Amino acid sequence: MLIDVPSIIEGYAQGYFLMADESGADLAWYTSRERTLIPLDEQFRYPRSLRRILNQERFSVAINRDFNAVVEGCADRDITWISPELKKIYWRLYQEGWAYSFETWQGNELAGGILGLAIQGAFIGESMFYRIPDGSKVAMVKLVEHLRTKQFVLFDAQMMNPHLERFGAFRVGGRRYKDLLRHALERDCAIV
């Protein structure tokens, strides 16, 4: 399978994202009239109960310690849009420095993680998962802190769900999203 990395990055840079259909057979580009963003400013919030867990320092954080395990964790669902073909694409993007896994660990056990692409000042979150309760929530908080320190300006979570709403996620229309994305792509940021 030939993977055209520059074309894939260009697709994401134009506001599209890759998904397989429910059968996993057809991989295609998608976009949405609305996009869900995670705030990187004071609008980001999380439950008080999570603050206690963060203070207990139950989890350590790593970037790309086990990228494939995070991809597999994100794909391990009854219905998944991460097909075998998309896994290969993520692996290639990882090899070329575009895809990242932001992970939480409890000792030597992967607790949870977030899979995404970093393009200039934009982090495009593709998926997240947990194996240990609160693993993905802690990953979210620590990822936002990390993106702030690296001066990222956009954290695109693509689609809203109740879990993301608890962190202050908000929706923007397609035109506003493209403006924000264009601004983020003008920034020279690196996640590591």
CATH number at residue 147: 3.40.630.70
pLDDT tens for 118-164 read 999 999 999 999 999 999 999 999 999 999 999 999 999 999 988 89
Residues 6+ apart with CB under 8 A from 7: none
Q: Is there a domain that residue 191 lies in?
A: no
Using alpha carbons only, give the angle 13, 171, 21 rounded to the nearest 5 degrees.
60
Q: Which residues pair with 127 in a beta bridge?
A: 115
Q: Is there a domain that residue 128 lies in?
A: yes
Number of domains present in the structure of the chain: 1
Residue 24 has a pLDDT of 66
Q: Which residues pair with 30 in a beta bridge?
A: 17
The helix/strand/coil state of 13 is helix
pLDDT band for 2, please (50, 70, 90 cuts).
confident
Structure tokens at 151: 């001066």
The helix/strand/coil state of 15 is coil
CA 96 from chain centre, in angstroms, equals 17
Cα dihedral 94, 65, 166, 150 in deg (nearest 10): -70
Q: Is there a domain that residue 190 lies in?
A: no
Q: Is there a domain that residue 80 lies in?
A: yes
Q: Is there a domain that residue 9 lies in?
A: yes
Q: Is there a domain that residue 32 lies in?
A: yes
Q: Is there a domain that residue 192 lies in?
A: no
Domain with 140, as residue range(s), is: 5-185
